[in-house]
Amino acid sequence: DIQMTQSPASLSASVGDRVTITCRASQSVSSYLNWYQQKPGKAPKLLIYDASSLESGVPSRFSGSGSGTEFTLTISSLQPEDFASYYCQQSYSIPLTFGGGTKVEIK
Amino acid sequence: QLQLQESGPGLMKPSETLSLTCTVSGGSISSGSYYWGWIRQPPGKGLEWIGSMYYTETYYNPSLESRVTISVDTSKKQFSLKLRSVTAADTAVYYCARHYNWKYPFDYWGQGILVTVSS
- Convert the pLDDT of each residue in B46-65 to its tens digit: 999 999 998 888 999 999 99
Task: Name the minimum distance, in Å, from the CA of B59 to any CA of chain A.
Answer: 8
CB pairs under 8 A between A and B: 56
Query: In this complex, do B47 and A87 lie within 8 Å of one another by their Cβ atoms?
Result: yes
Distance CA A68, CA B1 (A): 34
Residues of B at the A interface (Cβ-Cβ below 8 Å)? 46-49, 52, 59, 61-63, 95, 97, 99, 102-107, 109-112
Distance CA B73, CA A93 (A): 27
What pLDDT is attached to residue A54? 98
What pLDDT is attached to residue A59? 98
pLDDT confidence of B102, banded at 50, 70, 90?
confident
Question: Looking at residues A65-75, what average pLDDT do you find?
Answer: 98
What pLDDT is attached to residue A107? 87
Q: How many CB atoms lie within 10 A of CB B77?
A: 16
What pLDDT is attached to residue B29? 86
What pLDDT is attached to residue B107? 95
What pLDDT is attached to residue A58? 98
Q: How many Cα atoms within 13 Å fall on the side-chain side of residue B39?
A: 28
Q: Which of B48, B61, B109 is nearest residue A43 as measured by Cβ atoms?
A: B109
Residues of A in contact with B48 (CB under 8 A): 98
Q: How far is CA B42 from each of CA B26, B28, B47, B74, B90, rounded to the nearest angstrom?
A: 29, 30, 8, 29, 8
Residues of B in contact with A43 (CB under 8 A): 95, 97, 109-112
Cα nearest neighbour of A32 on chain B = B103
pLDDT at B34 over 70: yes
pLDDT digits (tens, 9 = 90+) for A12-64: 999 999 999 999 999 999 999 999 999 999 999 999 999 999 999 999 999 99
What pLDDT is attached to residue A86? 98
pLDDT at B32 over 70: no
What pLDDT is attached to residue B55? 82
- Radius of gyration of chain B measured on its C-alpha atoms: 13
Query: In this complex, do B95 and A43 lie within 8 Å of one another by their Cβ atoms?
Result: yes
